[in-house]
Amino acid sequence: EDKVVQSPLSLVVHEGDTVTLNCSYEVTNFRSLLWYKQEKKAPTFLFMLTSSGIEKKSGRLSSILDKKELFSILNITATQTGDSAVYLCAVYSSNTGKLIFGQGTTLQVKP
């Protein structure tokens, strides 16, 4: 059965802290892994990862994929209150078109 598991489910940190969010997966015909940030309504896209070991970076956020161990991490450095959100990981299966999400990690950044 295809599945995506995120950890931790929730996290509370203070501004300036660094956080690491985890995503492990089991899916047939893996094609890509996606990270999203969701604040109020629709998730907003952060990264798409298809190859192992290649870090994607955008400002204070970065992510990397390990296709051998079947997981990805999302790092946020120097957190700000605006980083408070639900972070979602999703995996796409190319032969079926299925896109499945994990449970999400709720991050709260306190001033």
Partner 1 sequence: SQTIHQWPATLVQPVGSPLSLECTVEGTSNPNLYWYRQAAGRGLQLLFYSVGIGQISSEVPQNLSASRPQDRQFILSSKKLLLSDSGFYLCAWSVGLYVSTEAFFGQGTRLTVV
Q: Restricting to residues 17-46, which ones interact with partner 1 according to CB under 8 A?
A: 31-32, 34, 41-43, 45
Q: Which two tokens stand for residue 71?
A: 């997981």
81 φ, ψ to 5°? -60, -30
State which residue, 34 or 64, has the beta carbon closest to partner 1: 34
The DSSP bridge partners found for residue 110 are 14
Which residues have a Cβ under 8 Å from the Cβ of 107 and sit 6 or more positions away?
A: 10, 11, 13, 19, 21, 76, 79, 83, 84, 85, 86, 87
| Separation between Cα atoms, residue 92 and residue 33, nearest integer Å | 6
Nearest approach, Cβ of residue 41 and partner 1 (Å): 5
- The number of C-alpha atoms within 13 Å of 99 and in the hemisphere containing its C-beta is 9
Is the Cβ of residue 9 or residue 78 nearer to partner 1 in the bound state?
A: 9
Closer Cβ to partner 1, 34 or 76, answer by number = 34
Task: Decide if residue 68 touches partner 1 (CB under 8 A).
Answer: no
Q: Binders of partner 1: how many residues, by CB under 8 A?
A: 26
> Does 6 interact with partner 1 (rule: CB under 8 A)?
yes
> Does position 50 bind partner 1 by CB under 8 A?
yes
Q: Which spans of this chain sit near partner 1 (rule: CB under 8 A)?
A: 6, 31-32, 34, 41-43, 45, 48, 50, 86, 88, 90, 92, 94-104, 106
